[in-house]
Every structure is written in structure tokens, then in C-alpha cells.
């Protein structure tokens, strides 16, 4: 009788230990998964434009895209720098958003209609349509 009880209890203890071990493992795993930081991607591309007014519009168009962390367009060399979360958005989506408001990017050309409506000092020199 005694021996049976002992062995029974012993098995229970082992089970509890295994259970505890499993719970701990899962807890540590889930915590480390939650704590994983967003890995932002950086990209550079050219965007046509002329002035500070263009800059305000281009930057706000890029920032309006969900997943864009920050963006900065350089009025002198027309280079756009964007930092974004590649799990939420893409380079194409960001360039499209800029082209939508009238500014040509490397990959997308703005609609002529939208370009024509730009403020006269923002009408940048455009490459001929191919
Ligand atoms: Cu402008």
C-alpha cells in the first residue's frame, strides 16, 4: 500500500514538473515574440518637384501611407528618403501615393490631370511621356 502511494505521488510530481516546465517555456517564448521590435526598411528614390511647397506635399503624402515611419524629400537633389515597416507597406505603395498627388516618382508617373492642377510654381519640368 505504502509503496503504491509513494509511486503514485512520485508520478504526480513528475507530471507537475513537466507541466511547469512547459508553461515556463511557452511563457518565455511568447514574451520574446511580443518583445520583437519592428524591423524598418530604408529606401531612396527620386521624386520630381520644385520647392518647399512641393516638399510639404510630398512628405505628407508619404507619411499618410500606413506603415511609413518617417520620410524626407530633398528639394535640391530631389531624393526621397523613406523609413517604413515592410510588413505593412511597400516601396510601390509609397511611390504610388506620391504620384497620386501629382509628383512623378521613379516607378510611377502622375496623371496629367493631377499634374496640371498643381500650383504654377510647383509645375516641375517633366520628362516627355514615353
Ligand atoms: Cu512646389
Q: Where are the domains of the chain?
A: 1-36, 41-122
CA 66 to centroid of ligand 1, rounded, Å:
24
CB count within 10 Å of CB 96 equals: 15
Question: What does the block give as the cell for 26?
Answer: 511557452
CA 95 to centroid of ligand 1, rounded, Å:
18
Q: Which residues neighbour 71 within 8 Å (Cβ) at sequence distance 6 or greater?
A: 59, 62, 63, 80, 81, 82, 83, 94
CA 69 to centroid of ligand 1, rounded, Å:
23
CA 52 to centroid of ligand 1, rounded, Å:
6
pTM value?
Answer: 0.72
**Tens digit of each residue's pLDDT (9 = 90 or more) over 46-79:** 999 999 999 999 999 999 999 999 999 999 999 9
Q: Where are the beta strands (DSSP E) in the chain?
A: 41-46, 68-73, 79-84
CA 122 to centroid of ligand 1, rounded, Å:
3
In CATH, what class is 41-122? alpha beta
Amino acid at each position: 500500500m505504502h509503496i503504491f502511494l509513494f509511486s503514485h505521488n512520485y508520478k504526480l510530481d513528475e507530471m507537475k514538473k513537466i507541466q511547469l516546465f512547459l508553461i515556463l517555456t511557452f511563457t518565455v517564448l511568447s514574451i520574446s515574440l511580443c518583445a520583437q521590435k519592428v524591423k524598418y526598411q530604408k529606401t531612396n528614390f527620386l521624386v520630381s518637384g520644385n520647392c518647399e511647397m512641393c516638399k510639404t506635399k510630398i512628405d505628407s503624402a508619404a507619411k499618410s501611407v500606413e506603415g511609413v515611419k518617417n520620410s524626407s524629400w530633398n528639394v535640391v537633389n530631389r531624393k526621397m528618403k523613406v523609413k517604413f515597416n515592410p510588413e505593412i507597406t511597400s516601396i510601390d505603395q509609397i511611390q504610388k501615393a506620391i504620384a497620386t498627388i501629382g509628383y512623378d516618382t521613379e516607378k510611377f508617373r502622375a496623371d496629367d490631370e493631377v499634374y496640371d492642377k498643381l500650383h504654377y510654381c510647383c509645375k516641375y519640368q517633366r520628362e516627355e511621356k514615353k
